[in-house]
Amino acid sequence: MTKAERLHFLDNIVADAVRLDALLQRLRDLAQAESSVAEGSSSVADTISSLRERFPALNISSRGDTDISIALPPEAAGIAFANLAENALQHGATLLELRVSADARTAVILVCDDGTGISEANRQRIFQPFFSTRREQGGTGMGLGIVRAMLSSHGGTIRLLPTTGAGAEFEITIPGPS
């Protein structure tokens, strides 16, 4: 092997090690989400504030009753909504909007972005573990699975809504605090 070939080979090993490390962390997050027994609630407004701090490149806005509490502990809410914000950012979004509505028992949060959106061919696969449209950029395909597992372990759901044009829109339904 030439020196250039060895260096290229070593670069590939390092890149693969970084990707495996990211994948292991995502698997830990998924395991935590699936076995989550922590109880508690969080404020949607606090979650939005946290997202704004963590994702300064996104213009994060909100509409509706953001003062409500939902039956997700702050850490779980942070993980779920941060995964959605991260996905939006990775797909070219500059705007992220959370639209909140609630009744006496349930909150519905629409999470909308202006990114490249999700192709029709990929819509049925996005919640499958390890499915990624960003594998070459280090995507693990675990983010939406983690979101779904985290919400499910607290009585919530997530679904991808149909969109016209660019962007993606997810509907999260989660109980209010007991």
pTM: 0.75
- Give the pLDDT mean for 111-128: 82
Give the residue with greater pLDDT, 126 vs 57: 57
Nearest of 40, 47, 109 to residue 73 by alpha carbon: 40
Over 60: is that where the pLDDT of 137 sits?
no
Over 90: is that where the pLDDT of 16 sits?
no
Give the residue with greater pLDDT, 128 vs 35: 128
Q: Which residues contact 115 (CB under 8 A, 6 or more apart)?
A: 88, 89, 91, 92, 93, 166, 167, 168
Largest CA distance in the chain: 69
Beta bridge partners of 172: 109, 158
Domain at 80, CATH number: 3.30.565.10
- Give the pLDDT mean for 90-98: 92
Query: CA-to-CA distance for 143 and 117, rounded, in angstroms?
Result: 16
Amino acid, single-letter form, for residue 148:
R
Residue 142 banded pLDDT, cuts 50, 70, 90: low
Instruction: Give the range of the structural domain holding residue 72, as residue numbers without chain letter.
Output: 3-175
What is the domain count for the chain? 1
- Out of 10-14, 15-19, 111-115, pick the least confident: 15-19
36: left (phi over 0), alpha (psi -120 to 50) or beta: beta
Query: CA-to-CA distance for 23 and 48, rounded, in angstroms?
Result: 26
Over 70: is that where the pLDDT of 143 sits?
yes
Over the chain, what is the mean pLDDT?
83
